[in-house]
A = this chain, B = another copy of it.
Amino acid sequence: MSQYSPRLSRLIDALRRLPGVGPKSAQRMAFHLLDRDREAAGQLGTALGEALAGIGRCPNCRMFKEDEACRYCSDNRTQSGQLCVVEGPADLVAIEQGTAYRGRYFVLMGRLSPLDGIGPDELGLPRLAELLDEGAMQEMIIATNPTVEGEATAYYLAEMAKARGLRVTRIAQGVPMGGELEYVDGSTLTHALSGRRAV
């Protein structure tokens, strides 16, 4: 006999599929929703339904979009001539929230990983090639993560952009703000040294 009744089991199983949620957290969440915050449970159910029904992908930048026009593909962003390529929606939001960059974006929704069956088609690179061929972009800013796959993806993207005569840049790697040299790893320090700038 399962420890939980059927509906409660299903709720706990569904909560466990959220990232970072294990069996204990899922149980705690389910009990919290049922015991103390049924309003939040209703709200979450409604929000999930609305999101599934109403949130799609922008055909240009591949970011989530629910309105007619994508807010990240507006004309004045296009006029900047800059296109920032990121791995996921969270990266786009981090750049929008943390920096003054207001150009166009392209969200790969992943990174090149041939062993996992993720190639150029899965990342929408044919669509990216079309965008570049339209000729409105002058610079591609590659903001993939500084991991092995991210670097491989960056190399591939750079080749695509260079073949079309665009300026290609990569976000700087170095010591993070507030970081202490003593605790920074050697690879990061190497990048910080080789990328040093005149002051």
Q: Which residues of A contact B (CB under 8 A)?
A: 1, 3-8, 10-11, 13-15, 17-20, 25, 27-35, 37-38, 40-52, 54-55, 64-67, 71, 88-90, 93, 96-97, 109
Contacts and interface: CB of A to CB of B under 8 A. Distances in A.
A24 to B, nearest CB: 9
Contacts of A49: 45
Contacts of A38: 52
Mostly, the A contact residues are: helix
Number of copies: 2
B93 A54 contact: no
B55 A8 contact: yes
A70 to B, nearest CB: 9
A60 to B, nearest CB: 15
Contacts of A6: 66
Nearest to A107: B35
Contact of A17 (B1, B13, B40): B40
Contacts of A7: 47, 50-51, 54-55, 66
A157 to B, nearest CB: 20
A43 to B, nearest CB: 5
A90 B46 CA distance: 26
A67 B5 contact: yes
Contacts of A43: 10, 13-14, 17
Contact of A48 (B20, B41, B51): B41
Contacts of A14: 40, 43-44, 46-48
A48 B47 contact: no
A42 B49 CA distance: 7
Given A14-B44, A31-B90, 18 more contacts: A3-B97, A5-B66, A10-B43, A10-B46, A10-B50, A10-B51, A11-B47, A11-B51, A14-B43, A17-B44, A18-B40, A20-B28, A33-B51, A35-B89, A35-B109, A38-B52, A44-B48, A45-B48
